[in-house]
Structure 1
Amino acid sequence: MSQIIFLHGASSSGKSTLARHIQATIEKPFWHISIDHLRDSGVLPTERFKNGDFEWRESRSSFFAGFHASLAAYAHTGNNLIVEHILDTDGWYEALQRQLAPFDVYFVAVRCPLRVLIERERARGNRIIGSAKQDFETIHVGKTYDLEIQSQDGIEYNTELVLKGWRSGRRISDFSQPA
C-alpha cells in the first residue's frame, strides 16, 4: 500500500522546506508533490491568466480536481507521496478523504505564528497579500490531524517528529476514518 505524508498549512508556513527535508531523510523513496511545482514548471498558462486571456476562476475547479485525482493515481500505481497542500475550498477535504481512502495517509498540520506568515508572504513577493492571514484563520478549523507541528520549532526537530509519528503507524486523523 502506498503511503502519503500530507502536510497541510497556511501559505508560507514552511511546508515546502519541511517536505524537502523529509524527502532527504526518509528511508523510502517518496515523491514531493505540490501545486507550486506545477505552477512553477509551466504546466499552467500563468502569464495568460495574469494578462486576462483566460479567467482563473473558470479554470480553478477543474485544475484542482485534476490535481487531486493525480495524487490518487500516483498512489494507485505504487508511489509514496509527500503532499503539501492548502485545503482552502469547500469540499476538497472530503473529496480527498474519499480519493485517498485506500492508502496510508499521515495527516500533519503545519502551523506558524501569524506575524511570521505575514513577514514571509511579503518577503516572497509571489503570494497574494492577505492569503496567509486568511489561511491562518480558517484552514485548520474542524480538521483532525495525526500530528500538529509548529514551524518555528525548526526543520530538524519537525522532521524527526513527522518521521517518528509516521513510522509508528498510529493514525487518528480524518483520513484514517471512513469518509
Structure 2
Amino acid sequence: MAQIIFLHGPSSSGKSTIARALQAQIEVPFWHISIDHLRDGGVLPMARFKAGEFDWAAAKPAFFDGFHMSLASYANAGNNLILEHILDNDHWLPDLQHLLTGHDIYFVGVHCALPTLSAREISRGDRPIGSAQLDFETVHLGKRYDLEVQSEDGPEHNVNLILEGWRTRKRVSDFFVSCDL
C-alpha cells in the first residue's frame, strides 16, 4: 500500500509550494507529481496547443485518463506520492477513488483568499485569467477532506499541520469513505 498525500485546491493556491516543502521534510521518500510537471517538462506539445494546431478540448479527456491511470500505476508499484491536482471535472473524484483503492490517501484541501489567487494568477502569466476565480468558486464544493489549510498561513505552518495529521493515520475524507464501502 502506497501513501498518498493529495493536495487539492484552486489554481495558484500554493499547492506546489506546500508540496516542495512537504517533500523536503517528510521522513520517507515521496514523489511530487502534478500536471504542471508534465506541461512544463515538455511532455505535452503546449506550443502547438496554444497555437491552435492541436485541439486541447479534444485531447484533454485522454490526457487526464492517462494521468490518473499513471498515478495508480506509480502507487501500485509501491511509490509514495505527494499529488497536487484540481478536481474540476465531476467524474475525476470517483475515477480516482476507484483507481487508488487500497492506498492510504490523506486528502488535503488547500484554500487561498480570492484576491491572493487572482494576483498570483496574473503574476504567473501561465494560466488563463479568471481560472483561479472559477476554481475558487467551485473546486471545494461537496468535497470531504482529512485536513484543510490556508496557504496564506505559510508553507512551514501548513507542512507541520499536514505531517501531524498524516501521521495520525486518521482518515475521514472522500477517499476513506469510498474505500470503506
Q: Residue 7 of structure 2: SS of its match in structure 1?
A: strand
Partner residue of 2:96? Answer: 96
What residue is the counterpart of 2:82 in the other structure? 82
RMSD: 0.7
Q: 2: CA distance between counterparts of 1:136 and 1:97?
A: 22
The whole-number CA distance in structure 2 between the counterparts of 1:137 and 1:50 is: 26
What CA distance in whole angstroms lies between the structure 2 residues aligned with 1:101 and 1:68?
Answer: 13
**Residue-by-residue CA offset, 1:85-139 (whole Å, 9 max, x unaligned):** 0000120011111111110000000000000000000111111100000000000
What residue number does 2:155 align with?
155
SS in 2 for 1:178: helix
| Structure 2 unaligned residues grouped into runs of 5+ | none
- 1:4 aligned partner: 4
In structure 2, what is the Cα distance between the partners aligned to 1:86 and 1:109?
A: 10
Taking the aligned partners of 1:106 and 1:118, their CA distance within structure 2 comes to: 27
Partner residue in 2 for 1:28: 28
Per the alignment, residue 113 of structure 1 pairs with 113
**What is the distance in 1 between the residues matched to 2:78 and 2:31?**
11
Q: How many angstroms apart in 1 are the aligned matches of 2:141 and 2:87?
A: 11
Structure-1 separation of matches of 2:130 and 2:176: 32
> How far is the alpha carbon of 1:178 from its aligned partner?
2.4
Structure 2 CA distance, aligned partners of 1:148 and 1:51?
38
In structure 2, what residue type is equivalent to 1:75? A
CA distance in 2 between partners of 1:177 and 1:90 (Å): 17
How many residue pairs match? The answer is 179
TM-score (normalizing by structure 1): 0.99
- Residue 111 of structure 1 contacts residue 151 of structure 1 at CA under 8 Å; is this kept in 2? yes
2:64 partner amino acid: F
**Aligned-partner SS, 1:177:** helix
Distance 1:113 1:101 in 2: 32
For residue 51 of structure 1, report the CA deviation from its aligned partner: 1.2
